Structure 1
Amino acid sequence: MEWIHRQVLHDLRCVALACGDARQRIVGLSNPKDRPKIEETLLSVLDDKHLNCPIGDMGDSVRKVLQIGAWQQSDDPEMATFSIAILLADVWNTSVGFGSPDQDWSDLSPFIMNLPPARRAVLLRAYFELYQMGICKADSFPNPNQYPTENADEIMSPLCCLARKMTEDELNFVSQADYGCDVRKHLTALYEVLDQPDCRFPKDECLYPNEVVELISHDPSSMGFVGCTALLIINDIHSSGHHDYMSFRWMNNSKAYCGLSDSQREPILRGIRHLYETDKDGWDPTELQFGKKRDKQVMSIPYYDSGSAA
């Protein structure tokens, strides 16, 4: 399974789990004699990292209940969101899910587009990928990179604060990262970048301080690692992903990012999710040149719903 597919399924599961006790209310829509089995099956679906719904009579019973739940948009938005997330995953896994994804998009889009931004971003991305695969057809389709969880300003402000927390010792260490070459020039450029309101790298400059920042950000054990990572995310956002500093680093350093302290981890992960959500060409840390893929399992980007990561 490609990384983007695993990421979409991861996010759909997170949305379903974030919908509180919607599962119990879904079970309540079923025939009383079927409820214990429906409950058991739904729990097993939620326990599966890809939300696999079984094929067979019980799987079909669960799908029918979810299809009812998906239309409870006015009466129970949480139930509708829960149901849509699992049904979309089912389309990915089995090509079953909704009876007609084409019709369902036209009917469900007003509800999805008015969800809280984090949930909207996930469901829209899932539908968009199905649209790209030819499973869901539509005359026009909103591009999910125009509907991220957060806007760039919300993301970059805490990242700039993180970068500016680098100490004098850290900045001196970073400036020496290029085998001790041009230390003063790198250090001066670092201070100039940090003095900018938006921590933007100099225009048309690819060496000072970019080179040492990139080198330090490869090594989680290095002094200045967090601040340099923040600078790269900021400048990836400034360039609309043109430089793509972070996809390769996510492949190699995702565990290190997730292991940071709370105050460091959240701005970094929110920034990486923003890059994933807004990349117009499809952000993929396994992508190589000429359509080739890296043969490596890469962690999914954590999902934030109401301030908590999953």
Structure 2
Amino acid sequence: MRHASVPISFQTLQVVADLQSAAAIGFTGMAERMKPAQKQILRRVIFDQKCLLSSADADAIHADLLLVAALPDKGREAFLSATALLLADRIQGGAGADDLFWNWEAFREHYRDGPSPVRAAVMNGFRWAHTTRRVNLDKVPQGRDLQTYDQDDLLRVLKVVARGMPEEIRDLACQAAPRDTRLVHRRALDNCLSGSCILSEYGGWFPSEVVELVSLDPEHAAFPYCTAILLLDAIVTRDGKGRMSFRWEEHAPRYLRMTSKARGAIVAGVRHLYEMSADWGPYAGWAPDRLVEKAVVVPFAKP
């Protein structure tokens, strides 16, 4: 029996993509717990159907998935991956009939002990399922449970990236400003980078103007450094002005194609924004069909 799926949004696409990744990690362990005929069904459901069960799939493997998802001591990886698959199916309105409330009540401490990407995927899955009324939780995941990386560690790595901007690239970045303000921007940029690297702590126009302008130009040599500076501020302010949600919408493919060391830190930082708040999301106002076709979800990345 199918249930109404959650309306398409960036958050839904992101949650399902993360849960699919978590399910794929434990495919081998889950398959070992199933009959030979079920293994091909499981493979298809995870890798071809994005963890969406048809009625026939549910008849064939749903009960066994629930069993694997109820036995953490029989294999933690398979247990977590089965939970991720069932959550993804639930959110998408698949044929799985169980709302997983009992699983949350019984095993949330086990979810907390999972590897950080899988833990974050499952916890964000439960948060989004609760937000969209696919399951009603009495204690909703929050804070560190939802985050792949520790915020202090992430800020430290992003500061290393930002402060790595060479002197000549700093000069080049400040040329984005009118000629008569370039020297002021240059001094302000140095002060920012030698200090906290948090733009909002320095206030006003300097060096925010050049940092924001350059972070919108993927061809600029200072693009990764200025993106890191802007992302640092976005994390501290929870992207209150939507600067990074706009930039992800516009430049996600360019971030993912970066070859510098900045790539991992920037992608991990954007993921942190999503994990900090269920309301954070680019692509606001996009039609569902365009979202499905064009929106870019944030992959797991090592900063």
Length-normalised TM-score, structure 1 = 0.87
Looking at structure 2, the residues matched to 100 and 71 of structure 1 have their Cα atoms a distance apart, in angstroms, of 14
Looking at structure 1, the residues matched to 170 and 86 of structure 2 have their Cα atoms a distance apart, in angstroms, of 50
Higher helix proportion (structure 1 or 2): 2
| 1:1-310 matched pairs, under 5 angstroms | 1-19=8-26, 21-27=28-34, 30=35, 35-36=36-37, 38-48=38-48, 50-56=50-56, 58-97=57-96, 99-143=98-142, 147-196=146-195, 198-201=196-199, 203=201, 205-261=203-259, 263-279=261-277, 282-287=279-284, 292-293=285-286, 297-304=294-301, 307=302
Q: Secondary structure at the match of 1:232?
A: helix
Q: Which 10-residue stretch deviates more, 100-109 or 247-256?
A: 100-109
* Shift, 1:228, TM fit: 0.1
Looking at structure 1, the residues matched to 27 and 51 of structure 2 have their Cα atoms a distance apart, in angstroms, of 16
Amino acid aligned to 2:295 = V
Q: 1:79 to 1:156 in 2, by over 3 A?
A: same
Q: 1:49 to 1:278 in 2, by over 3 A?
A: farther
For these two proteins, the number of residue pairs brought into alignment is 292
Is the 8 Å Cα contact of residues 23 and 79 (structure 1) preserved in structure 2?
yes
Q: Secondary structure at the match of 2:30?
A: helix
Q: Secondary structure at the match of 2:73?
A: coil
Looking at structure 2, the residues matched to 136 and 42 of structure 1 have their Cα atoms a distance apart, in angstroms, of 24
Looking at structure 2, the residues matched to 217 and 145 of structure 1 have their Cα atoms a distance apart, in angstroms, of 29
Looking at structure 1, the residues matched to 12 and 49 of structure 2 have their Cα atoms a distance apart, in angstroms, of 12
Q: 1:175 to 1:49 in 2, by over 3 A?
A: farther
Q: 1:227 to 1:49 in 2, by over 3 A?
A: farther
Looking at structure 2, the residues matched to 128 and 181 of structure 1 have their Cα atoms a distance apart, in angstroms, of 50
For structure 2, the 5+ residue unaligned runs are 1-7
Q: Secondary structure at the match of 1:213?
A: helix
For structure 1, the 5+ residue unaligned runs are none
Looking at structure 1, the residues matched to 11 and 143 of structure 2 have their Cα atoms a distance apart, in angstroms, of 14
Q: Secondary structure at the match of 1:71?
A: coil
Q: Secondary structure at the match of 2:238?
A: coil
Looking at structure 2, the residues matched to 125 and 49 of structure 1 have their Cα atoms a distance apart, in angstroms, of 20
Is the 8 Å Cα contact of residues 24 and 47 (structure 2) preserved in structure 1?
no
Amino acid aligned to 2:54 = P
Provide, for residues 265-292 of structure 1, a one-character-per-residue CA deviation record: whole Å limited to 9, x for no partner: 111111111111113x5211112xxxx4
Length-normalised TM-score, structure 2 = 0.89
* Identity rate, percent: 24
Q: Secondary structure at the match of 1:52?
A: coil
Is the 8 Å Cα contact of residues 199 and 230 (structure 2) preserved in structure 1?
no
